[in-house]
Amino acid sequence: MLIAIQPLPLAKFLWSLLFIALSNYSFIKRNFPSLKNVYIAFSSTVPLAIIDFSSDELFSSPWLFAPLVLAVFARELACDVPDINGDDATIAVRLGEGTSSRLVFACYAVSLSLLTFLSNGERQFVIAAVGWGLLALYSVFKSKYRWSERRLILFSAPLVICPAVLVLN
């Protein structure tokens, strides 16, 4: 119903793409577990693309979505690390706990670097600074206090929201 009432063909396409992405998640998770994190990362950008396009019928630069894709990928990988023993052949299982944890940190750091580089206003720069602060806290709690990945997921939501603000501005 929602797809049918969209006035623009591109809006219909984006809503259809979102519906297809959401409805095929179980298939991807079951048959292609190594692609699950990447699939979710790209699928998570579709709702923001819809909001971005709906606001002015123009798209932002695709580069603005890169920090978001990396942050969502890192969050999904961080969620998989505690479940390494119970999961199928996910990226976390293939890389192991240590390498996966380092990749999570690296993805967040690259995401925030891109966010800082792409920031073109004071508000966006403040958001990037908040993200760097959260990543610093993530590092402290991981190295000094030896928090597990399950507890460090606490930092994942804000580290994903920071790049989303860049797209929506």
- With respect to residue 136, please indicate whether it lies within any of the assigned structural domains: yes
Q: Give the Cα separation of 106 and 73 in Å (integer).
A: 11
pLDDT band for position 49 (50/70/90)? confident
pLDDT band for position 38 (50/70/90)? very high
- With respect to residue 90, please indicate whether it lies within any of the assigned structural domains: yes
* pLDDT cut 70: percent of the chain above it: 93
Q: Is residue 114 a contact partner of residue 66, using CB atoms and an 8 Å limit?
A: yes
- With respect to residue 28, please indicate whether it lies within any of the assigned structural domains: yes
Residue range 103-113, pLDDT digits in tens: 999 999 999 99
Structure-token pair, residue 160: 């994903």
pLDDT at 15 over 90: no
Instruction: Count structural domains, the chain.
Output: 1
Q: Give the Cα separation of 156 and 154 in Å (integer).
A: 6
Residue 90 DSSP code: -
Closest C-alpha among 153, 159, 146, 162 to residue 78: 153
Domain of 89, in residue numbers: 9-168
Q: What is the mean pLDDT of residues 135-139?
A: 92
